[in-house]
Amino acid sequence: MKALRIDDEMRPAEAASLLEQAEHRRERAQADLDAFWFPLVLFGSLSMVAAGLSLAVGLDSLGLFWLVAGPGGGALTARHYIRRGRRLGVGRVGWPYVAVSAALMIGAFLTGGLGTGLVQELGPVSCVACCYLGFAWIERSVAVACVALGMGGVIAALALLQPPATVELALLGTGALMLTSGLFVRYRSEAA
């Protein structure tokens, strides 16, 4: 490492200015990278459709629905991120998103398929909430972390109350939360 010589010793004001600029540039890059509204809106809508489907056709339809909608929604989200990255000229590597998405799908199918009682009813949405914390970490996004915690709150309330149609209410509650948060993030960033 080529260090500064002692006679080059920098002034505190210069150090503060450099730190401030570095922080400002990081924040700007983060704002340009912020594209999470799309999967929030997409998967929020899909969750609400799933709740309706479960009420109309039955709980058994959910496995098949998510087997198609999960990877399909993931592919659409990947396309959105890649196209946006190419248009703006800035992006993040994809493998962390793929790893968290795979963990989400496996966890949701295992708890929904093999679990019993509350684990079967609320396990899949709990996996989604946990994996959204993972997405929040990848995106360094407080907004996504808040959505994940909000989903956790909905799940905890349903686990305590155990109302009839718990699965549908979980899908409806978390879906509505994701959809409204996604739309809010989208219009807030557009306004900024």
Partner 1 sequence: MTHPSLQLDNTVHQRVRLGILSVLAEADEADFAYLRNALGLTDGNLSRNLAVLEQAGLVRIDKRFEGRKPRTWVSPTKEGRRAFAAEIQALRDLLARVDAVEP
Shortest separation between residue 149's beta carbon and partner 1, angstroms = 23
User: What's the length of the chain?
Assistant: 192
Considering the complex, what minimum distance in angstroms separates the CB of residue 83 from partner 1?
A: 12
Q: Give the nearest distance from C-beta 100 to partner 1 in angstroms.
A: 16
How crowded is the C-beta side of 103, counted as CA atoms within 13 Å? 16
- Chain residues binding partner 1 by CB under 8 A are 1-4, 6, 8-10, 12, 15-16, 18-19, 21-23, 25-26, 28-30, 32-33, 86, 88-93, 140
Q: Residue holding tokens 């570095």?
A: 22
C-beta closer to partner 1: residue 25 or 188: 25
Cβ 34 to partner 1 shortest distance, Å: 11
Long-range CB contacts for residues 126-129, cutoff 8 Å, separation at least 24? 126/152, 126/155, 127/103, 128/104, 128/174, 129/155, 129/174
In the complex with partner 1, which residue's Cβ is closer, 140 or 188? 140
What residue has token string 């019993």? Answer: 116
CB nearer partner 1, residue 13 or residue 56: 13
In this structure, how many other beta carbons lie within 10 angstroms of the beta carbon of residue 175?
Answer: 23
Decide whether 138 or 159 has the Cβ nearer to partner 1: 138
We find the least distance from the C-beta atom of residue 81 to partner 1, in angstroms, to be: 12
Shortest distance in whole angstroms from residue 74 CB to partner 1? 19
Cβ pair 91, 85 in contact under 8 A: yes
Nearest to 40 by CA among 112, 164, 108, 136: 136
Q: What is the C-alpha separation between 70 and 144, in angstroms, rounded? A: 19
Planar angle of CA 51, 56, 60, nearest 5 degrees: 75
Between 23 and 187, name the residue whose CB sits nearer to partner 1.
Answer: 23
Between 18 and 64, name the residue whose CB sits nearer to partner 1: 18
